Structure formats: C-alpha cells, structure tokens
Structure 1
Amino acid sequence: MKSLPPVAVTGLGMITPAGDGAGATWAAMCDGRPTAATDPELSGLPVDFSCRLPEKTDLSRGLLPRSSWRMSPVAKAAVSASYDAIADAGLNTASWDPARVAVVIGCGVGYLTQWHTQSLRLAHNGASSVSPLTMPTALANMPAGEIALALGIQGPSLVTATACASGASALMTARGLLASGQCDIVLAGGAEMAINPLSVAAFHRMGALSTRRHDVAGASRPFAPERDGFVMAEGAAVLILERAGDAVARGRRPRALLAGCAASTDAYHPTSPHPQGEGTEVALRQALADAELSPVDIDHVNAHATSTPSGDTAEATMINRVLPHHPSVTAPKGVLGHTLGAAGAIEAALTVLTIEYQLVPPTANLNGAVGEGAHLDHVVGTPRPQRISAAVSNSFGFGGHNVVLAFTSAASSG
C-alpha cells in the first residue's frame, strides 16, 4: 500500500508536571528532574503521591471569564496548550478558513473528578444538589469541543479514546484528515487530569501503581530492575499538523515531520501486554513501512515505558527484536509520571524536540542499563547529543491498544 505523504509539525504547546510551556518541560526532561511529590488530596490512601501540574499553572490564560468558569481543568489545559501551539506555529486564526481546520484530542478518562464529586453529592444530598455543569465538564469529548469553541474551528472536532495510547491515536487520526484533503490544519494532541482518590484507589487495587512512599521522587523508574508500577500524572499537549507543502508555502519550516504511523491490537488481555510484545511489534513494523523506513534507519526510541514490571519487559523485548542495532532509548515517564490519555501526545512533542535539538534527554531514576532492557542503549544521567534523522514514539494502552508514530528530521528530508 502506498504510504501517505509526510505532514509537518509546525508548532507545539505543552502543560505538564514539569512546567507550563514546552520550554519548561524540555528543560526538566534534559535535567532528569522527577516531578512526583506527596499529594495532599490523596492523604490516607496507600498511594498518596502523584505528578500534578505546578501550583502556579494558569489554566485560564486567554479565556474570557464567562468561558473559564464553566470549563473543567482538563478542557482548560487543552485550550491553553492549543493557544501556545498556534503561537509557536505562527498561525493567524483571523485569516484561516475555520471550516478547513480540525481538532483531534486524545482523552482516555475525561474529567473523572466531576463524576466522583457529583456522585457523592447525589448520595448525600439528593438529585437537586447535582451540578447542571456535570455533563459538559465531565465528558471526554469536551477538551476538543472547548478548543473548537475558543478558536471558532468549524471542521471536524474529534476525541480518540484508546486509553494510554489516546494522544498518539489523535495524531494518527489527524494525519488521515490531512491526507484525505478534508482539512488543511489540525490541532492534534491529548489532555488528561484524572488524579483523584477514586482513580488512584482503583489503579492501586489492580496493582498498577508504585507504592514507593519512602522515595516518592524515585517512584517512577522506567526499565529499572526495582520498578514497581507507574505514578499518576496530568497534563496536555497539542501539536499543529499541516501538509508539508502547505507549511513551506506559507514560509514555515517544520520542526519535524510525522512521516508514518500505525496501530494494532494485542487481543491478549484487558490490561496486560503480550509478554513478547507481539502486537506492539506489528504497530512498529507497520509504522516504519508507512514512513518508508527500515528498522536500521531508526536512530532513537521514545519508549512508552510506564515503570510497570510486565509492561517495560514486553517493550524492551520487542525493541531488541525489531531494532537490534541499538538506537538510543529514553523514557519520559521517569520525569513526568504517567499522564494516561495525554501521554502519547506529550511524548510525541518531546520526540519532535529531540529531533529538532539533536539531543536525547535521559531517563530519570535509571542508574544504569541493568535489569530488563539491559541490552537497550538507555540514555541516563545527562542528555546525549546525537545525530537523529528518524525516531519512533511508542504508546500502548489498556485494551491492547498500540500506536507507533515515526518522525523524521525536516533537515534530512531536504
């Protein structure tokens, strides 16, 4: 099958536990500074730490008061990241055709805190105490809907929900919209703010979370032999995607190219990955074929690596099998924790920056290439300057969802 033409990433915006803005997040990644900290809202739970957005994060910037009051924090984060991405791309929203612009946002959970809070109100105080804003704030589609409302976008407005692969699924969907000719610009990304006592208790009960309370900063430790689960996190990222020719025509040099992507399903278990990474291998090989790349062309891997024992083992096994030439590997969740539905978009943005700056951030809390994934070329300690022409970003989710995005350097494409 003929591959689709590459699309340009011309702008990006990020709001993560490492800071408000792509620059702050990139700096923390390069420093390898973990963001996990004790969370007062989780007090009394077996897991009482998480990776929250910084306290001073302004999620209402650019929003009119009449809009801000009715929006959930996850929608505000998505809108704020969109404003940053548009500014970064040098786009003028007053001059674009709103019917030719689309929004695709990955969101795995929606604003779970609203469901939790309003359920308690209903149980304790009756139906009249339930907020009339419950549905428009809690539904998972609203981050995309609110971006469209804020920016007057009239093209497709979609949400992808493939658990922790949702953000990557959004970029894959966006690429298809551009290739079909339906749109000229797509705001694609992910947003998630699902940390609350209910979600943390639920993940803990299934054995997914780290319980490293004696060393909270070191709790998220991808590929480390003593890893014991992931750390809940929140955040948002939005990337501006355009056809490469359109970007050049308006005088905008791409930050990187989304050259290929693919999705697969494990069909193995509701929450556990296939132990040999068979489904993820399909996604990786198909993404390479879509980008017209061979395995040896890949210089760098942005690993999904959540810090769970089985997940990291399966991914390491798969990477070694498909990419035996040992490209460099980094795992952002050591710094950021696991942002669930936003993770794929945040890590796609980080992969773009890695290619653009020719610099690989280290995996935090991994003190050497030991344990599972010992044969991978882990970047640890300090960032590594490296020539990177092509990189892949892996995203996997409950339900067996797998998405791999292949990015290439705009410079190497000529």
Structure 2
Amino acid sequence: MADEPLVLGIETSCDETGVGVVRGTTLLADAIASSVDEHARFGGVVPEVASRAHLEAMVPTIERALKEAGVSARDLDGIAVTAGPGLAGALLVGVSAAKAYAYALGKPLYGVNHLASHICVDQLEHGPLPEPTMALLVSGGHSSLLLAPDITSDVRPLGATIDDAAGEAFDKIARVLQLGFPGGPVIDRLAREGDPKAINFPRGLTGPRDAAYDFSFSGLKTAVARWIEAKRKAGEEVPVRDVAASFQEAVVDVLTRKAIRACKDEGVDHLMIGGGVAANSRLRSLAQERCDDAGIILRVPRPGLCTDNGAMVAALGAEMVKRNRAPSDWDLSADSSLPVTDPHVPGTGHDHGDGHDHGHDHGHGHAGGHGHDHVHELSKDNLYS
C-alpha cells in the first residue's frame, strides 16, 4: 500500500457532519456541516435532531470534500469512519454511509475510535506523532489522559473524569450565566477581560490521596452555580467576566497540572492536547507555560482541528492503511461506548471485495476502569437536563 495513502474520513459522533480527505499526513479537504444552530434553541444537543441533520448533510458534505480535495472517489485507498464512542443514532448514519461508499467503490473500510482520531489529527499539522505520546483529550463528552505507544493499536487510558467532562462544565456555567450555547467560546472570550484570581473556586481531585490522573468537575460546577445564585439572591450584580475567568482557571489548572505529572511519571517528553476544549486560549497558554518549565514539547492542533471533524478520522484511517492494519468487516456496527483501548475495529476476515458477511463480532470490555468516560451519549444527554 502507498506510503501516503489517500483516505476519506467520516465523522458523525455528535452534531457535526465532518468529511475529510488526507494524503498521508497532508490535509487535502475538511468539509463540515454543523447542526449547532438547530440545537441551540433546545439548550444543548438533541440526539434525534443530530441524526436527522446527518442524514440530510451526508452526501453533499462528502461530495464537497472530494471536490475541495480535487480527487476522485475511485482513487481512494480507503474509507474511515468514526465507529464510536458517541451518540448511537448519529454514529449509525456515518457508519452506514461509509459502508455504502466503501462497498460500492470496492475500497477497504476502517471503523476507528473517536478519541484516538483526536490524537492522530495533530499529524496533519505537526507531522508524525512521536511514540509514545501523552494525550490530554478534553471535550463536552470526555476528559481523558491517554498514553499512546502506537496510535493504531495501543492506546492506554491513565485517567478520566469520574463525573462531568470539562466541556460539559463550560456549557453548564455558560447556561447559569445566561450566555447561550455552546458555552466554551463565550466563556473563553469573557475570561480574557476578567480576573482569574478574583474567586477561589475548588480544584477537584487534587488532594494527596486522590487519583493522580482522574478528573472531577461536578463539584466545581456546583460551587460556581451556587456562588452565582447567592449573588443574585442578595440582589448583587454578578461579575460575569471575573466568574468566567476564575472558573476557567480552575478547570485548566487541574487539566494541565495532571497532564504534566503524567508525562513526568511515564517518562514521556511530548504532550498532545486535543478535543473541543483544546481550542480554549487559556488552556493552550497555561499548557505551553508549564510544558516549557518541565522540558516537555507541547503539540496542539489549530482550533479548527480540535473540534470534531472528518480530517481527524481520515488521518487515523491513513495511518491504518500505511501500517497495514486489518480493515473492518462489512458488518461493522456503531458502538456508542467503544473504549479508547480499541483504536480501530478490525475485521475477522479481510477479503473486502466479495460482498459477503464475514460474521465479525467486535465484543470487548471497558479496559482502564473508566467506562463512564466513554458514554458520550449519556454525558451529552445529561448535559442539559
């Protein structure tokens, strides 16, 4: 197979329909159709709305990506798709589309892990990932510390949130402050004009007896909400910018502190940060500051590649092709709780030209003891209840 395989990637784990095309580690196209405006009036992501939006956007977005890349679908070396974790219905739309295109074109199909894709996307900007790489993934559904000796086959969870994800906390506090949805970008913007030391909000799981690499943002979320409520009950004006800055500082302080500790403990000199929250300007600046102090090389993709997109799926798919990883079978299914220990879903049979059902069963356990962090659907659902 080519050293620089041409791969199309499809991402539908949540509310973005993303289709990317890469050649090796070179990004050729990154087309996205977002349904965020449709969800905003509900205050958060509605799974059924997301699924319907994916159905409507899928074919036009694939066609747009191929046109932008200037390639023909016939020239592809493979098609990759997010198989999980994520919203079950949304994932199913993407997986079904990928299977249809792969079958019709006679191309190998690669079902890949959403979280592993967030790590691999950095290759499109900074070149091949060093192995092992430490990855801090932070989004609305996940907050995880992962060690990746081999992004295609060996990703090890070191820690995860035990309750709410970081992005979920951002959205919740934005809602309490009546800032709208999604909350991350607006809190980031307001925080630049506030004092991060104005209010001393709690840092979860930072005691000497707490799990070294796990996260907890539920207590912080509650503390901030109660602080705001107390101000309002007292008839006082809520200092929105100071609240945003102090809350944000509490989140990024813990994230970066634990990530640096994991790098030191594991003897890893590269830290990659990905996921939607990685677009946060304060997280990026504090991570850079602490990595510089610790002699660790920081890799963070540009903000547009941090949020969900098809390019990251294509990037991981291209790496699968390059390393001759086994394609998925035609009965590949969406798995809303696919653990990150499964970077991709290999098939049991590899003849993808016969159209036969290979009887593939990718049963697995939730290694790492952090199954709660993989249930993207539940966390997104609970976000706005």
> In which range does the TM-score fall when normalised by the shorter chain?
0.3 to 0.5
User: Could you state the TM-score of these two structures normalised by the residue count of structure 1?
Assistant: 0.33
User: Could you state the TM-score of these two structures normalised by the residue count of structure 2?
Assistant: 0.34
By percentage of residues, which structure has more helix? Answer: 2
